[in-house]
Structure 1
């Protein structure tokens, strides 16, 4: 699968630098939902980083030959608590980087991240959101997008169908109530039964 190979090519150098600098992360978005549910092609990689501003110069220096990366964009993202991105020059894969939020749910999801293989043949192991947390995040994105993103809804349904009884439904309901998506979770659970 060329799609997965491009993902791996785009991720490997970035993950190597994150590891060397001791920056913890997880992969989310459609890559994480594809890991637990139905595969969906994508041209970007969503990641959450627990980024310390003291790492920025070394991060930029270490990645500038393989990625388009902008130091000022990263500083602005930290200052305004927004995302930034980098682009892997060889594959043109975009990596959207979101900074870890202080919200209790985000902290818990970060703590619960799980190691997963993205592609069996290459055995690239990455930290991904847990299946429960990817469902909750996707429901939140679906709600924030005014309930129109069929892709988000299909990703949720795919993870629910594939993971089934392995999911911790009590955990999901607790946090769904906390972040305001309990009605959507219940609707999604009903639809996949």
Structure 2
């Protein structure tokens, strides 16, 4: 099913060819979608660990974002051109406070979006978010720092 969606999306792109993955650019576009609607978000997972000194092979981009059903349309709107996703699956994930994926069409990089469950633990994560300057071309990235 996903393969069919990818094939249809790529057929719509007039001059598509696989681009090298620039994780910073892909991550920045999704972070900007959150920032535009003032939704708290941060990078986590293997990218956050690697930037903090625990080198890991990044297979995808993990993003924690406090999305809800009201903010979801405004979050997805600027991503529709560059990412492949199923709105109905995303709405369900946001309602159930789970996760969903976006697939960047130029690089085929996957962005896994984790929607916090609003537990006390999840609420405490906001205190662990710090800014990290990865590249002077971009503003600092919100990054989940390790628990000591």
Matched with 2:5 is none
Structure with a larger share of its residues in strand:
2
Number of residue pairs aligned between Structure 1 and Structure 2: 130
1:72 aligns with 2:88: yes
1:46 aligns with 2:39: no
Matched with 1:122 is 137
Is contact 1:28–1:47 with CA below 8 Å preserved after alignment? yes
1:95 aligns with 2:111: yes
Is contact 1:114–1:130 with CA below 8 Å preserved after alignment? yes
Is contact 1:46–1:97 with CA below 8 Å preserved after alignment? yes
Unaligned runs of 5+ in 2: 1-19
1:61 aligns with 2:67: no
Is contact 1:69–1:87 with CA below 8 Å preserved after alignment? yes
Tell me the alpha carbon deviations over residues 154-183 of structure 1, each in whole angstroms, 9 at most, x when there is no partner.
xxxxxxxxxxxxxx4xxxxxxxxxxxxxxx
Tell me the alpha carbon deviations over residues 49-108 of structure 1, each in whole angstroms, 9 at most, x when there is no partner.
111211222222211001112211111102222210101111111010111122212211
How far apart in 2 are the matches of 1:77 and 1:111? 24
TM-score, reference length from structure 1: 0.61
How far apart in 2 are the matches of 1:36 and 1:94? 21
Q: 1:42 Cα deviation (Å)?
A: 1.3
Matched with 1:104 is 120
**What CA RMSD, in Å, does the superposition of the two structures yield over aligned residues?**
2.0
Q: 1:123 Cα deviation (Å)?
A: 4.2
Structure with a larger share of its residues in helix:
1
How far apart in 1 are the matches of 2:98 and 2:62? 13
Is contact 1:63–1:69 with CA below 8 Å preserved after alignment? no
